[in-house]
Amino acid sequence: MDSTVYDTVCDRLQKIDNRPCMHYIKVKQGQAGLCSLPGRFLCDESLKRFSPRLSHSTALDWRRCRKLFYYRHVQGITVRPHMKSIALKLGTVWDEVVECKTKTGLWSVDQPSVEKLQVPEFDLACVSGMVRACEALEVELHPCEPQVKIEDQIQDGPWIKAILDGRGDGFFVEDKFTFMPNEYFDPFNLTSQVGTYFLLDDSLEYCVIRAVRKPGLQPYKPTKKRKNGETVAEFEERVYQDIISKPKHYLPYFDPATKLYGRRFYPTEFDLASLLWEYAHIGYDISVAQQRGAFYPNYSACRTVYGMCDYRSICDTGGVSDEYFERRDKAEYGGNN
Ligand code: SF4
């Protein structure tokens, strides 16, 4: 059998003077740079030599499916905010609720963000009911600075970036809004994310996982007795009443004395040496995949508990719908658009 190795050179490569290509945007020493051409993201040629900047979610994408990784992180194709899954939308809205409470002391939903994400009203009622319940229960949050970025290069390996939901004195917090909070109280499931944050900052002594349970209640449908079904306001009220009747169910590890919720984890609970070793290999493997054109699909990863892979339509047809997808911001990666 013929073993074909793709060793193609970028079709737009144009060397000038002391720069590798006139379209090249250098980002950081030892990190794959960007291509300035519209419709392109990472520089194909630099990716053959250097790893792209990684994060715990980037590394998860690589482990899940190389083709997905290629679309999202090499070509920079992402799903438009209003087309994201409900789980992601609610997670974003909840993160903003927590950020607002941390900064201002107020429990409140950010309406412009809800509109941008086009969150369905009954799903939003689950967050609004939770917000009202937190206010009624006088729930408090650990004092910290929200949305703290950290970035570092591992020895002889890739650059890694993380955004902590909150950083306090010697600790960080991670917030979730999920219908499976218990999944986030198992160190095995947390290693890729929490372990990465401990790797990047060894002054962090512990973290607090604040995984809030998304209410599983469903709006009542119209019946013979009740023709119109449940309104959004009625549903939100029922959600609210359910939460204040059992706060520990919805806010795991809620302490009525301190009014704080969430569980602590310590660095010793994670195999950080293995994680470091994995990052070094992932960075190297991505460059080799680029050299060989080996971003092949993993069909066993197409369907997950959250639904079908976002990139299924591209895999299927090769077309990239402007209605569904947009291009990643190069400035966010460290370049200029
Ligand atoms: S649809 Fe399947 S093969 Fe295609 S990118 Fe997604 S996970 Fe990979």
Q: Is residue 18 part of a domain?
A: no
What is the side-by-side strand order in the sheet with 159-167? 145-153, 159-167, 171-178, 206-213, 263-265
Structure confidence at residue 299 as a pLDDT band (50, 70, 90) = very high
Q: Are residues 173 and 287 in the same domain?
A: no
Q: Are residues 127 and 219 in the same domain?
A: yes
**What is the per-residue pLDDT for 292?**
92
User: Which residues form the pocket of ligand 1, taking CB atoms under 6 Å from any ligand atom?
Assistant: 65, 67-68, 297-299, 301-302, 309, 311-312, 315
Q: How far is the CA of 315 from the centre of ligand 1 (A)?
A: 6
DSSP 83-115: GS-HHHHHHHHHHHHHHHHHHHS-----HHHHH
**What is the per-residue pLDDT for 306?**
80
- Write down the mean pLDDT value for the chain: 94
| Chosen domain end from 241, 270, 299 | 270
Mean pLDDT, to the nearest integer, of 318-331?
95
C-alpha torsion angle, residues 282, 287, 288, 290 (rounded to 10): 120
Q: Are residues 289 and 145 in the same domain?
A: no
Over residues 166-205, the pLDDT tens digits come to: 999 999 999 999 999 999 999 999 999 999 999 999 999 9
| Chosen domain end from 270, 289, 305 | 270
Q: How far is the CA of 197 from the centre of ligand 1 (A)?
A: 28
Over residues 226-235, the pLDDT tens digits come to: 778 899 999 9
What pTM was computed for the model?
A: 0.92
Query: Which residue segment(s) compose the domain that 283 sits in?
Result: 24-79+279-333
The residue whose CA has the least distance to atom 7 of ligand 1 is 302
Q: Is residue 14 part of a domain?
A: no
Mean pLDDT, to the nearest integer, of 66-89?
96
Structure confidence at residue 122 as a pLDDT band (50, 70, 90) = very high
Q: Are residues 249 and 115 in the same domain?
A: yes
Report the distance separating Cα 7 and Cα 45, nearest Å: 11
Q: Is residue 256 part of a domain?
A: yes
What six digits make up the tokens of 141? 């949050």
Report the distance separating Cα 100 and Cα 118, nearest Å: 20
Given ligand 1 and candidates 65, 79, 320, 324, which is best to mutate, with the most ligand atoms within 8 Å of its CB? 65
Say if residue 12 is exposed, middle or buried (CB neighbours under 10 Å; 0-12, 13-18, 19+).
middle
Q: Is residue 10 part of a domain?
A: no
Q: 């600075």: which residue's tokens?
A: 145
Q: Are residues 59 and 178 in the same domain?
A: no
**What is the per-residue pLDDT for 1?**
45
